[in-house]
Amino acid sequence: MLATRFERLLKAAAALLSVLAVTFTAAGLYLYGLSRQLPDLDPQSVAFKPAETSVVYAADGSVLAEWHAEQDRTVIPIEQMPQHLQDAVVAIEDERFYQHEGVDLQGIVRALRANASSGEAVQGGSTITQQVVKLLFTGNERTLARKVKEALLAYQLEARTDKRRVLETYLNLVYFGEGAYGVESAAKRYFGKRAADLDLSEAATLAGVIASPARYDPIAHPEAARERRDRVLRKMRELGMISEEQFAAAAAAGIKLAARPDAGGQFAPYFVEHVKQQLIERLGSETVFEGGLRVHTTLDPVLQRHAEEAAHALLPDKDDPEAALVCLDTATGDVLAMVGGRDFSKGQFNLAVQGKRQPGSAFKPFVLVTALAQGVKPTDVFEATPYSTRVKDGIWRVQNYENEKTAPAMTLAAATNWSVNAVYARLVMKVGPDNVVKMAQAMGIDTRLEPNPAIALGGLTTGVSPLEMASAYSTLATGGIRREPVAITKVTDRTGAVVLAPVREDRRVIPAAVAKTASAMLHDVVEQGTGQAAKLPVWAAGKTGTTQAYRDAWFVGWAGRLCTAVWVGYREGQVSMTDVHGIKVTGGSFPARIWQRFMSKAIADYQNPRASDASAAATGSADASLAQVRICTQTMLLANERCPDVVEIYLDPSVAPTARCTEH
């Protein structure tokens, strides 16, 4: 009995040993085979993957841009990379680079703990050696086989090559954003100097970019890049790579970027860069610059030319404030035209998309729509005298601007026409700031909003962009249907397979009757209110906006299928526009005039076969459910020929007055 059991144990052990022997033999053979695939890491013979140019097309099929990878790479030896640059990259990307043997088990555990505690991916476990292997061989395929192969190759690579050569290869391969591959190209692109001449602050800035070239781009996102740089410096200090004095000096330094080389007259450069950043975020920089993509966009070249002409014609001087413009097709959400500033070669920060500026009274339509949805009527009368009330931060006092036409009391319609602050201050307290925030976000404002009463007058913690404002106003233009703005219609790879396409979804966020009434009231703003400089030969609606000290000025509105937001101000921000060509810049001045100049041409020339015919909801014209009436704003009755203040508005017949004014 015992002998039989012993024999079984021997057989089981023998079988297990056989399986282990086969497994280790197979693994050894596999590892040997992989080791035979390793390249010579001499900089002159690095086996780069073949890359193919990506092409960007406008809506009419014309080529907007071509994106290349290798054209902006200069390979240099590690001797030309300053030690503080090497240290910065090691500190933030792989702090145990000089201790591990290609794969860092401690680093993996540390990353798992950090990610688990934060609830998101804040650290990665890949080493610099593994990144080199991925860049040269395994690519970005997310499979277990690829990760195993990557780890085995990393071990073999370090067994055959010293650390300096691995780091040298990595710093010549990795992408730093803005089309720059390798530290030499990145140093020239961002700082206009050789990598050998980078100081500590500049080196830390470049090291910080690697993790996310789009997010930490010092040109497009200077604040995020600075925060990331400081994180790199803190890590270097923690690891003993720099002293406290070196840290303090580098952290105090500003990020001084070199002037961008002339864009060569590239057409619609701000729009093209906007598309590029979106694709890098979604597909990764390698795919964008090496994948042979065919990127089909929504840009209408005819409207783009009209937009640039209008933005630059009225503010031609180099000392003038700049204009940003975004035009959307309300029937599709397509971005048809985009102007992000005066000169892309001198200022790549896209004021149309990245510029978060205070909207002033251009934010009032969100309060208006909230009020109408709660049952407030355009004919309701509000006090218009200066207003004050206690809020959590103290007393909120509201004065009317000097250009507002005011009376002791007026209707909501009249207050909208003349953008009367005191009325809207009372209105926001009536409807609730939190409800205004919800409405603005439902309509298309993506920026995080705080429910403070000051939002009624456009006093936001963080400003909003022209793209957001155009998108939100489009929701009114469509009769309450929300459509996300879209700049890319389709992206295909080198084989023609679709790799990215927008998901278009229509969502009703405002009752149709509410959107119609608000549209009619904003039409009156153009016809007889603060936006009269924006009048068109066709039906149009919109709203002006001017911030304190004349720092920002807006006009946002729509006509036909086109909704356009125009912002005017100085790129630096916090600069008053009190004397521009002899006037104080308000929303009803240059922004409204630019809007009118652009829209008058755009409406006539725009043709889009993808868009359905504009409906009554899209144009804001009347329908059978609403009646157009002329109301005396003093008596709130039907106006006669002698009434001094009259507003034309569309109202539900059940609430429209029937008696005629006899006081005038």
Which tens digit of pLDDT belongs to each residue from 290-306? 888 999 999 999 999 99
> ∠202-206-207 over CA atoms, to 5°?
115
> Does 499 score more than 70 pLDDT?
yes
Q: How far apart are CA 533 and CA 590, in angstroms?
A: 9
| Residue ranges with strand state E in 360-449 | 381-383, 387-391, 394-398, 409-411
Average pLDDT over residues 14-23: 60
> Does 332 score more than 70 pLDDT?
yes
Q: 33 Cβ partners below 8 Å, 6+ apart?
A: none
Longest alpha-carbon distance in the chain: 122
Model confidence over 500-532: pLDDT tens digits?
998 899 999 999 999 999 999 999 999 999 999
Which is more confidently placed, 71 or 234? 234
Residue 400 confidence (pLDDT): 77
> Does 362 score more than 60 pLDDT?
yes
Residue 35 confidence (pLDDT): 53
Average pLDDT over residues 553-578: 95
pLDDT band at 612 (very low <50, low <70, confident <90, very high): very low
Closest C-alpha to 334, from 157, 492, 484: 484
Q: How far apart are CA 119 and CA 289, in angstroms?
A: 31
Pair 553, 586: CB distance under 8 Å: yes
Residue 17 confidence (pLDDT): 63
Residue 109 confidence (pLDDT): 60
Which is more confidently placed, 564 or 652? 564
Q: How far apart are CA 369 and CA 364, in angstroms?
A: 9
Which is more confidently placed, 613 or 407? 407
Pair 436, 454: CB distance under 8 Å: no
Pair 653, 514: CB distance under 8 Å: no
Closest C-alpha to 557, from 574, 538, 571: 538
Helix (H) or strand (E) holding 337: strand 335-339
Model confidence over 372-414: pLDDT tens digits?
999 999 999 999 999 998 888 788 888 876 656 667 899 999 9
What tokens were used for 95? 């702090």
Q: Tell me the sheet residues that pair with 490.
A: 296
Residue 530 confidence (pLDDT): 94
Lowest-confidence segment of 93-97, 200-204, 437-441 by average pLDDT: 93-97
Residue 558 confidence (pLDDT): 98
Q: How far apart are CA 216 and CA 232, in angstroms?
A: 12
Model confidence over 27-55: pLDDT tens digits?
666 656 655 555 555 444 444 444 577 88
Which of 106-110, 141-145, 317-321, 403-407 is most confident? 317-321
Lowest-confidence segment of 71-85, 115-129, 426-440 by average pLDDT: 115-129
> Does 121 score more than 60 pLDDT?
no
Residue 153 confidence (pLDDT): 78
> Does 620 score more than 90 pLDDT?
no
Burial string for 218-233 (b: 16+ CB within 10 Å, else e) reads bbbbbebbbebbbbbb
> Does 622 score more than 50 pLDDT?
no
- Round the average pLDDT of the chain to a whole number and report it: 85
Q: How far apart are CA 228 and CA 189, in angstroms?
A: 19
Using alpha carbons only, how large is the chain's radius of gyration in Å?
Answer: 31
pLDDT band at 415 (very low <50, low <70, confident <90, very high): very high
Residue 247 confidence (pLDDT): 96
Closest C-alpha to 258, from 346, 171, 327: 346
Which is more confidently placed, 251 or 623? 251
CA atoms within 13 A on the CB side of 207: 32
Helix (H) or strand (E) holding 441: helix 433-443
DSSP-assigned states of every residue in 80-107: GS-HHHHHHHHHHH-TTTTTSSSS-HHH
Residue 286 confidence (pLDDT): 84
pTM: 0.67
Q: Tell me the sheet residues that pair with 565.
A: 326, 556
Q: How far apart are CA 480 and CA 473, in angstroms?
A: 10
Pair 64, 297: CB distance under 8 Å: yes
* Percent of the chain predicted with pLDDT > 90: 58
DSSP-assigned states of every residue in 497-522: -EEE------EE-S-HHHHHHHHHHH
Residue 582 confidence (pLDDT): 94
- Side chain identity at residue 356, one-letter code: K
